[in-house]
Amino acid sequence: MLGLWLLALLHVYIGWRIAPQLPAPLAVAGFVALLLTTASLIPVAFAGRRVRDRSVADRWTWVGMLALGLFAILLVLTLLRDLVLLAAWPFALPPLAAPTAVAVPVLAALALAWGLAGARRTARVRHVDVPIAGLPAALHGFTIAQISDIHVGPTVKRAYLQAIVDTVNRLDADAVAITGDLVDGRVADLRDDVAPLAGLRAREGAFFVTGNHEYYSGADEWIAQLRTLGLRVLNNEHVLIERGDARLVLAGVTDHSAHHFDPRERSDPRRALAGAPADAALRVLLAHQPRSAAAAAEAGFDAQLSGHTHGGQIWPFNFFVPLQQPFTAGLHRLGSMWIYVSRGTGYWGPPLRLGAPSEITRLRFVAA
């Protein structure tokens, strides 16, 4: 109930700051009608998930999430407009109230269209070299195709995932890593939509670690289902990959928050590395959240691949990611360990991406 009141108050704020400054009564009426529509549709996006008919629920989620995205854009632009007006107030500038008020809905419409196109397109491939000191020649050029945070669910379906799988397969990678938040929903509802994962191809196979959304959706059921599709699920464990006389340890941990759902599932990089050969030339950890990095570095990993942040997904929310995570996106160094954080291959919530493009990442380990 508190959330609904806050939603209503923020809509009132937008209307109060913008509508009176619009140049024509028709524009005022249209803008107020738009705000009433978004305020009505946003709760439907969440209530729709309880509808038994999944096709009906998905359609309501679609329109509700678009309304949420438009509202978020309008709110940000209204706040920015107020800051501009405040900064301009001490100066003798031409009147800015009316033109900036018109700019808010115009820019919001453009941003909505741009963000929707960015979210719904198939993620582009991002090529990243990770330099490793002393990497043997046999492992030089070892590639991992990373996908993350696809969020198969009400608005992300089979065709969307199939396009991702096709792109990954064209990379001809040594291994595929899925670093969590693959799904938003139950196995019973999404079994057919995730089926394309069975077509993933890589010389060493495809590997998966859980994200927080798997635990919201029934992690045990999903782990069992993904194994039937040929994915190797790494729950605080590792596999050993040999190339000539060189060995690579590829490990994975459960999500950083897993113990809140099941105490037995606590994320543990040391446990994931237990029993690995001491002479392994490269140790790579798959961990959904970047904040696993400190424990991974202490455990002795050379690199960690993560997701979770979406790179912020919609500007300016990327500026808030550091409040929870040590890294937002891209390649970083923590002591002697590299950490790469994917911006995600899909999206969550509103089907929008602004300032944080989705990605399929081809990571290549090279001798430093």
CATH fold group of domain 125-367:
Purple Acid Phosphatase; chain A, domain 2 (3.60.21)
Q: Give me the percent of the chain exceeding a pLDDT of 90.
A: 88
Total residues belonging to the chain? 368
Domain extents for the chain? Answer: 2-120, 125-367
Q: What is the mean pLDDT of the chain?
A: 94
- Of the given ranges (53-67, 120-134, 318-332), which has the lowest mean pLDDT? 53-67
Q: Are 122 and 164 spatial neighbours (Cβ–Cβ below 8 Å)?
A: yes
Residue 50 is predicted with a pLDDT of: 63
Token couple for 192: 């057919």
Closest listed residue to residue 305, CA positions, set 323, 330, 281: 330
Q: CA–CA distance from 302 to each of 135, 249, 258, 312 (Å)?
A: 11, 10, 23, 26
Q: What is the pLDDT of residues 171-216, one digit of tens each?
A: 999 999 999 999 999 999 999 999 999 999 999 999 999 999 999 9
Residue 52 is predicted with a pLDDT of: 67
pLDDT for 336 beyond 80? yes
Residue 239 is predicted with a pLDDT of: 97
Token couple for 206: 């495809």
